[in-house]
Structure 1
């Protein structure tokens, strides 16, 4: 090999490898936030209170951004989900009264759902929601109120008195009994609340979260105002007859 070529080779080999170093430096910056980060219930609640989005949406958003609340808020806004929290206080005086009659005609439901404009009320998205909510009421015979806040305080106090007197709590300290009873009462009240029920077509969300999803889609406040359930024969006292006595009466026997 000639001296000139050897010198050129040495020059090439001695040049610093700058490009890989730059790539190595940039790699961490491009690395995505870990999606499997542990998300606490407190963080989910904080994001929910801030955005008005559903619990499952908040949890998903936090996982997508590695638990950062600000980034999760942006993620929800990009998806249109955080909108629900900003329109929830606007007056909803339009809407529909919808109905659902269960197969066989033994159970029927009337429900009033409100929105802000007649334009949205006539849309397929809103009308579908009204039908689904009416069907939900028919499927949940224990539900008596739209939301927990509608349940009279006297009912909660009566339930608390019943729970405090249960035998399984008699041996427990007062403060422990109180905590257990509070948990039981909260569970009981949610069983009576339509908005806290798992949605019959998607058990991963509640009816409240379903409504918030629709709010995000239509851009208007939506409120479930009231409902009535009709069960065939409910409240009618059915006369119980004794077949033997009827036969005796018809044949003149005593």
Structure 2
């Protein structure tokens, strides 16, 4: 049996919003396995953060760049320690150059880091190291991606400046109609709903299996017969897919139709999308205010 420490309990509470005793019991029941404890809390209906994909705990900006012919687009996330640095004109100019450089790569982070720096001195990775030395704050080129199609549309939610902000989306489309307008509307929808995948087939199998286990456990606690439980699980999984699969989601600009129905009506086909939310999935340790004050006054 793993040792269940106060620190483990505190960490689980912060991630799920569960009560102290519930968090401790979840860890005890799952031999200290945090992921299993989170799933256990969800199944018991005790987690207040069941849908969270991660806590936004890093500053910086997300930038998008679309090629002149509109057929390809790149998206990049550059992290910094503080929002103060992210608002700096030099940081933003560097990120804009990095996003343009990403258009000339295959979209991978490795290729972008090795690409020629926008300032002409070494690689992108070299430039970031120089920025760190100059500004005195750590920075990380966290991720990048690239999409191509007949038309690529981009969207930045709450833009800090042109082409960059906290949330960025690229949508790749083919077909007829005003693909720029269609793509922008789909990109805005994605920013609002954060779909996990374009289609059910593209969903992470682990995500699907975890959801099914949680729903199965919840259904069994109802005490109903197995044949009824099977129907309950099937119905709840269908609801889950409508929540997280882009093409099955109700279109935010017309909830009476799905995204797939909207695209079909416009004569457009979705070829892919990328959605970056700044700091998604990164956790930053939160200092205890009382401990901080105590450390400052110690010895005074």
SS at match of 1:186: helix
Counterpart contact for 1:99–1:131, Cα < 8 Å: yes
1:151 to 194, 203, 216: 203
Greater helix percent: which structure?
1
2:279 is the counterpart of 1:224: no
Match of 2:120 in 1: none
SS at match of 1:156: helix
Counterparts of residues 6-45 of structure 1 (less than 5 Å) = none
Q: Which runs of 5+ in 2 are unaligned?
A: 1-147
2:170 is the counterpart of 1:111: yes
SS at match of 1:249: helix
Match of 2:129 in 1: none
- Give me the whole-angstrom Cα distance separating, in 2, the residues matched to 1:236 and 1:153: 22
> What CA deviation, in whole Å up to 9, does each residue of 1:143-202 have, x standing for no partner?
111112222444433322322222665421111111111111111122111111111212
Q: Which runs of 4+ in 1 moved over 6 A?
A: none
Match of 2:157 in 1: 102
- Give me the whole-angstrom Cα distance separating, in 1, the residues matched to 2:286 and 2:210: 33
TM-score after normalising by structure 2: 0.44
Counterparts of residues 88-99 of structure 1 (less than 5 Å) = 94-99=149-154
SS at match of 1:177: helix
Match of 2:295 in 1: 249
- Give me the whole-angstrom Cα distance separating, in 2, the residues matched to 1:198 and 1:163: 22
- Give me the whole-angstrom Cα distance separating, in 1, the residues matched to 2:153 and 2:260: 18
Counterparts of residues 38-53 of structure 1 (less than 5 Å) = none
1:240 to 278, 286, 298: 286
TM-score after normalising by structure 1: 0.51
Distance of aligned partners of 1:131 and 1:156 in 2 relative to their CA distance in 1, 3 Å threshold: same
Counterpart contact for 1:190–1:197, Cα < 8 Å: yes
- Give me the whole-angstrom Cα distance separating, in 2, the residues matched to 1:145 and 1:132: 17
Q: Which runs of 5+ in 1 are unaligned?
A: 1-92, 216-221
SS at match of 1:160: helix
SS at match of 1:165: helix
> What CA deviation, in whole Å up to 9, does each residue of 1:52-89 have, x standing for no partner?
xxxxxxxxxxxxxxxxxxxxxxxxxxxxxxxxxxxxxx
- Could you say which structure has the larger radius of gyration? 1
- How far did 1:251 drift? 4.3
Counterpart contact for 1:108–1:229, Cα < 8 Å: yes
Distance of aligned partners of 1:164 and 1:152 in 2 relative to their CA distance in 1, 3 Å threshold: same
Counterparts of residues 115-126 of structure 1 (less than 5 Å) = 115=174, 120=176, 125-126=178-179
Counterpart contact for 1:109–1:227, Cα < 8 Å: no
What's the RMSD between the two structures over aligned residues? 2.6
Greater strand percent: which structure?
2
Counterpart contact for 1:112–1:227, Cα < 8 Å: yes
- How far did 1:240 drift? 1.8
1:179 to 210, 231, 247: 231
